[in-house]
């Protein structure tokens, strides 16, 4: 098996217009063995409209899976959801997970609650903010990621060092920061204990950035961590599978021999490459 892309967005995400058949075609053209639709479910919006992307995504998954089976392509298609800020409302997450037979549930954090309001990272230029505020946001981010790992019903922890992309710091090693490093290490201990996979996210691969990087992966491996997924975080077809060969080399260098994907919420290991 070459690669399985476990983090792909389609037109059912608020920030993508990608048609599911085109996403699949791009993956097949790149020689991937399969992918998982994992559209955004961002907890915190009033009402329950934020659940609709997952239901729409599941409808597309069923259509495309049947088409692939009819064609006998052998391409593996899985269904997931990237639930952002799941710690905000565990009850609604449980409802969604009960409604849809996910192959995997992805957990992520894209915003924090600070000073009585939402601080959504993509709405700010961190370089223009006071340093003390940025520090508070970063600390709160890692605390929320830890809570997600501890409390949420997830199978994959997404882009652990995601906050660095907004600080525009590809080489920033939060694992070596005394305060942040301990939170990150506790997060790694938690996902190992709970059997949650750690994602290598390639959304900013063109900037020389993996989330997390080799330093975090090396610590993860030293703790006994073995479950790793590859996620392009693609929002357009051409980004499916990007950076996977480079990520496979990083895995090899830190001593992790297998990547994995999920089927019916159980990890399936494979040798990438």
**Sequence-separated (6 or more) residues with CB below 8 Å from residue 187:** 142, 145, 146, 149, 157, 160
Q: Residue 33: is its pLDDT beyond 90?
A: yes
Tell me the pLDDT of the chain averaged across its residues. 94
What are the residue boundaries of the structural domains of the chain, listed by start?
4-270
Q: What is the mean pLDDT of residues 204-230?
A: 94
Q: Are 180 and 207 in contact (CB under 8 A)?
A: no
* 3-state SS assignment for residue 101: coil
Kindly indicate the confidence band of residue 16, based on its pLDDT and cuts at 50, 70 and 90.
Answer: very high
Helix/strand/coil for 137: helix
Please report which residue ranges of the chain form alpha helices under DSSP H: 20-29, 52-71, 90-99, 131-151, 163-167, 178-194, 214-222, 244-254
Contacts of 237 (CB under 8 A, 6+ apart): 18, 22, 23, 25, 26
**Partners of residue 259 on adjacent β-strands:** 270
Q: Which of 211, 102, 218 shows the shortest CA–CA distance to 157?
A: 211
φ/ψ region of 99 (left if φ > 0, alpha if ψ in -120 to 50, else beta) reads alpha
**At a CB cut-off of 8 Å and minimum separation 6, what does 178 contact?**
none
pLDDT in tens, 246-273: 999 999 999 999 999 999 999 999 999 8
161-203 pLDDT, tens digit per residue, is: 999 988 766 668 899 999 999 999 999 999 999 999 999 999 9
CATH class of the domain comprising 4-270: alpha beta
pLDDT value at 74 more than 60: yes
Given a cut of 70, whether residue 1 has pLDDT beyond it is no
Q: Whole-prediction pTM value?
A: 0.96
Provide DSSP, 216-233. HHHHHHHTT---EEEE--
Whose CA is closest to 199, among 271, 112, 106, 80? 106
pLDDT at 90: 87
Residue 30, classed as helix, strand or coil, is coil
In the numeric block, the tokens 């882009």 are attached to: 159
């Amino acid at each position: 098996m070459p690669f399985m892309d476990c983090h792909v967005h389609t037109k059912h995400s608020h920030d993508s217009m990608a048609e599911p058949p085109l996403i699949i075609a791009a993956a097949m053209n790149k020689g991937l063995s399969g992918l998982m639709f994992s559209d955004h479910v961002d907890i915190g919006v009033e009402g329950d409209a934020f659940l609709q992307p997952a239901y729409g995504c599941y409808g597309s998954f069923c259509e495309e899976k049947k088409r692939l089976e009819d064609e006998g392509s052998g391409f593996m298609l899985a269904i997931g959801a990237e639930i952002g800020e799941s710690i905000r409302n565990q009850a609604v997450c449980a409802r969604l997970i009960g409604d849809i037979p996910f192959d995997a549930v992805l957990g992520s954090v894209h915003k924090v609650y600070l000073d009585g309001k939402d601080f959504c990272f993509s709405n700010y230029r961190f370089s223009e903010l006071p340093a003390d505020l940025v520090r508070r946001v970063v600390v709160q981010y890692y605390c929320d990621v830890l809570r997600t790992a501890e409390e949420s019903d997830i199978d994959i922890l997404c882009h652990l060092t995601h906050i660095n992309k907004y600080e525009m710091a590809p080489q920033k090693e939060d694992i070596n920061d005394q305060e942040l490093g301990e939170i990150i290490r506790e997060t790694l201990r938690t996902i190992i204990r709970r059997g949650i996979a750690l994602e290598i996210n390639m959304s900013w691969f063109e900037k020389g950035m993996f989330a997390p990087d080799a330093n975090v992966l090396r610590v993860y491996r030293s703790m006994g961590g073995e479950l790793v997924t590859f996620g392009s975080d693609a929002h357009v077809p051409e980004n499916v599978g990007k950076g996977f060969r480079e990520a496979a080399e990083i895995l090899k260098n830190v001593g992790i021999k297998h990547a994995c994907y999920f089927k019916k919420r159980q990890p399936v290991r494979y040798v990438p490459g």
